[in-house]
C-alpha cells in the first residue's frame, strides 16, 4: 500500500486552502499548495493564517504549533513542481468537468507513478476524470465539505476502475485527518449528500423567489422543523449559488429533469450574488 508522506493540493480557493490546512494541521502532512496566480496563493495562505489564529484565540492551538503548521505548507505556482514529489494529489479546482479532466491529465504526466489522484468534486463523474489519465486505478473522489477545517465528513468515491488499495489508502488519509468517512460504492452524480441536498436548496430558493415566505422564516422553518444546524438559504451562501447551480445542472443532465435548477438560482449566480465568496447572497457577509 502506498505510504502518504506529501500531499499536493491543486487550488487555493474556498475549499483548497481548507483542505491544505487540515492536511497540515491535523494530518501533519507536508503540503504543496498550488494555484495558477500568485494572488490566489496569497489569498489562500491568508485565509489559512486567519483560520489558525482563530484556533489560537479559542485556546485550541498554541501559537508555536500554528507556526509549525504554516511551515508544513509550501505555496507553489508551477504544477509540475507541486506534484513531482507528491504521494497524493487532491484537486480542488472549480466545478467544471473539462477543467478537472485537464488537471488530471497534467497531473498524471508529472506526478510519480505511485501517486494517487483524488478529486474534491461535488458532482462530476470520477470515472470521467480518471479517463483523462493513464492510471485510472489510482483515481478516486475525496469530497470534503465546507469549511473543511470544521466539517467532519469526507465522501470517498470509487470510480469504475478505482482499485481497493487506492480506496483504502484515501480512507486512511481521511482518518488521519480525523474525519468521518462514507464510501460511495458506485460512481454517480452528486454522490450521497448533494443528491439529497441540492433539491432541498433548489426548493428553498423557489419558495423565496416566488414570495411565498421571507428569507428568515424559510431558514427558521427548516432549522426548527427539520433540525438542521443552519437554514438552507444561509447554507446556500456558504456553498455558493454558482456551485449549487453547477451541481444542479450536472444532476439534471446525467440523472433526471427533476433536479432542474430554478430561475431564481440562475439569477443569483448571474448577478454574482454568490454568498460568502462575493460578500453578498441571500445574506450580507461584508460585515461578518
| Whether residue 63 lies in the annotated active site | no
CB distance 162 to 140 below 8 Å: yes
| Whether residue 263 lies in the annotated active site | no
Number of H helices and number of E strands within the chain? 12, 8
| Whether residue 163 lies in the annotated active site | no
Set 122, 125, 202, 241: catalytic member: 122
Q: What is the dihedral of CA 226, 229, 234, 239, to 10 degrees?
A: -100
Set 95, 155, 202, 241: catalytic member: 155
Set 119, 194, 202, 241: catalytic member: 194
Q: From residue 66, give the alpha-carbon distance in Å to each of 24, 25, 231.
A: 10, 8, 32
Closest to 55 measured CA to CA, from 42, 41, 38, 70: 70
| Whether residue 155 lies in the annotated active site | yes
Query: First CA to last CA across the chain, in angstroms?
Result: 45
CB distance 48 to 70 below 8 Å: yes
Q: Whole-angstrom Cα distance, residue 107 to residue 263? A: 37
Set 123, 125, 143, 241: catalytic member: 143
CB distance 268 to 241 below 8 Å: yes
Catalytic site positions: 122, 143, 155, 194
Amino acid at each position: 500500500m502506498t505510504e502518504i508522506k506529501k500531499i499536493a493540493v491543486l487550488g487555493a480557493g474556498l475549499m483548497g486552502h481548507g483542505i491544505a490546512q487540515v492536511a497540515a494541521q491535523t494530518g501533519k502532512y507536508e503540503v504543496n499548495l498550488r494555484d495558477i496566480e500568485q494572488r490566489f496563493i496569497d489569498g489562500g495562505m491568508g485565509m489559512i493564517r486567519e483560520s489558525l489564529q482563530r484556533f489560537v484565540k479559542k485556546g485550541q492551538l498554541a501559537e508555536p504549533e500554528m507556526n509549525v503548521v504554516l511551515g508544513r505548507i509550501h505555496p507553489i505556482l508551477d504544477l509540475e513542481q507541486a506534484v513531482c514529489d507528491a504521494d497524493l494529489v487532491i484537486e480542488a479546482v472549480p466545478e467544471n468537468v473539462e477543467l478537472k479532466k485537464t488537471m488530471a491529465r497534467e497531473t498524471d504526466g508529472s506526478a510519480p507513478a505511485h501517486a494517487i489522484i483524488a478529486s474534491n468534486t461535488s458532482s462530476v463523474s470520477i470515472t470521467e476524470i480518471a479517463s483523462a489519465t493513464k492510471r485510472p486505478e489510482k483515481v478516486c473522489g475525496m469530497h470534503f465539505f465546507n469549511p473543511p477545517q470544521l466539517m467532519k465528513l469526507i465522501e470517498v468515491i470509487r470510480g469504475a476502475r478505482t482499485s481497493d488499495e487506492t480506496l483504502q489508502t484515501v480512507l486512511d488519509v481521511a482518518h488521519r485527518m480525523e474525519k468521518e468517512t462514507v464510501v460511495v460504492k458506485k460512481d454517480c452524480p452528486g454522490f450521497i449528500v448533494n443528491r439529497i441536498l441540492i433539491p432541498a436548496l433548489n426548493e428553498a430558493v423557489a419558495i423565496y423567489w416566488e414570495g411565498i415566505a421571507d428569507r428568515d422564516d424559510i431558514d427558521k422553518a427548516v432549522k426548527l422543523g427539520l433540525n438542521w444546524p443552519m437554514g438552507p438559504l444561509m447554507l446556500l451562501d456558504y456553498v455558493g449559488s454558482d456551485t449549487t447551480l453547477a451541481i444542479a445542472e450536472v444532476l439534471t443532465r446525467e440523472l433526471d429533469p427533476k433536479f432542474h435548477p430554478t430561475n431564481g438560482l440562475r439569477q443569483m449566480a448571474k448577478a454574482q450574488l454568490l454568498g460568502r465568496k462575493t460578500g453578498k447572497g441571500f445574506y450580507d457577509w461584508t460585515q461578518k
